[in-house]
Amino acid sequence: MTLIDAVGTPAGPAGTTPVVSVRGVRKAFGRGEGAVFALDRVSLDVAPGEFVALLGASGCGKSTLLSLIAGLDRPTAGEVAVAGDGAALMPQEGGLFPWLTAGRNVELALRLRGVSRSDRRTEAERLLSLVRLDGAYDKRPHELSGGMRQRVALARALAQKRPVLLMDEPFSALDAITRDALHGELIRIWEETGVAIVFVTHNVREAVRLGQRVVLLSSRPGRVIREWQVDIAQPRRIEAPDVSALAGEITERLSTEIRRHATAEAAAEQKGSIDVRQ
């Protein structure tokens, strides 16, 4: 396991063109003195086929950064570039259409991609099989468990056939047993497809269990403050000693950042109250 003390360290072997390139990105909400910065001078590269876990405290701008990479929003400053046709996004709640079957949900992405009607069902069934949902084509979301719905959402995201898959805390609402099973399934699918993944989480052990690289954002405004290369062979167990050891190291750095942010906010509030009294 290797600690990287640089901001925006390029990913992958020398000469590899990144599939995601974020350069000096700032993102503000609002204007003038009332503007709130969610991200500040963020630089990050993701190599082809790399699995990057993006970690930080709640409100640090992780989901905002994902939205910028997905092209759902634009940065206030800086540049975001994504290879090919861009990135596919798997949101936290899956976002399945409840009136469509699992197969039709997947076919919707295939239709938007331009796959012919005659080929859609075959491809949808292949993708459902890839996520271990053989026979679920005609099931509607309400007939599926939470873990199964997330598998359908993953199949639909993969149906877009993009070089990058963005995942925004996709397993946070699931129980521990289901989440553990889906961790293993995700690693299998990642290895089979070769897609690059940017996986947002606030769970340190999940980040270490899954990622080849863990990127830590500071509290708001989000900045890249540390990166760790995770040199632990897959498959990893979340309770394994080497996973626990690295997770403990990252947790300590995250806790330090949370304390720093709380101290800075308290000082700012105190200064504001003094200014008002004056």
Q: Render each residue's pLDDT in the chain as its tens digit; 278 residues.
A: 444 443 444 444 445 899 999 999 999 998 877 788 999 999 999 999 999 999 988 888 999 999 999 999 999 999 999 998 899 999 887 789 999 999 999 999 999 999 999 999 999 999 999 999 999 999 999 999 999 999 999 999 999 999 999 999 999 889 999 999 999 999 999 999 999 999 999 899 999 999 999 999 998 899 999 999 999 999 899 889 999 999 999 999 999 888 887 776 665 556 555 555 55
Give the pLDDT of residue 277. 56
Domain spans of the chain? 2-86+162-277
Phi, psi of 139 (to 5 degrees): -85, 135
* Of the options 3.40.50.300, 1.20.120.160, 3.30.70.2860, 3.30.1320.10, the CATH number for the domain spanning 2-86+162-277: 3.40.50.300
Q: What is the DSSP letter of 149?
A: H
Q: What is the pLDDT of residue 53?
A: 97
The β-bridge relationship of strands 213-217 and 51-55 is: parallel
Position 7 scores a pLDDT of: 40
pLDDT at 104: 97
Q: What is the pLDDT of residue 123?
A: 96
Q: Give the three-state DSSP class for 7.
A: coil
Spatial distance between the Cα atoms of 6 and 4, rounded to a whole number of angstroms? 6
Give the integer Cα–Cα distance in Å for 210 and 208. 5
Sheet of strand 77-82: strand arrangement: 36-46, 20-29, 77-82
Helices 146-159 and 176-193: crossing angle in degrees, nearest 10, is 20
The edge-to-edge listing of strands for the beta sheet with 87-90 is: 2-4, 224-229, 213-217, 51-55, 196-201, 164-168, 87-90
CA distances from 4 to 185, 230, 262 (A): 28, 11, 25
Contact (CB, 8 A) for 77 and 237: no
Q: What angle do CA 193, 82, 206 make, to 5 degrees?
A: 55
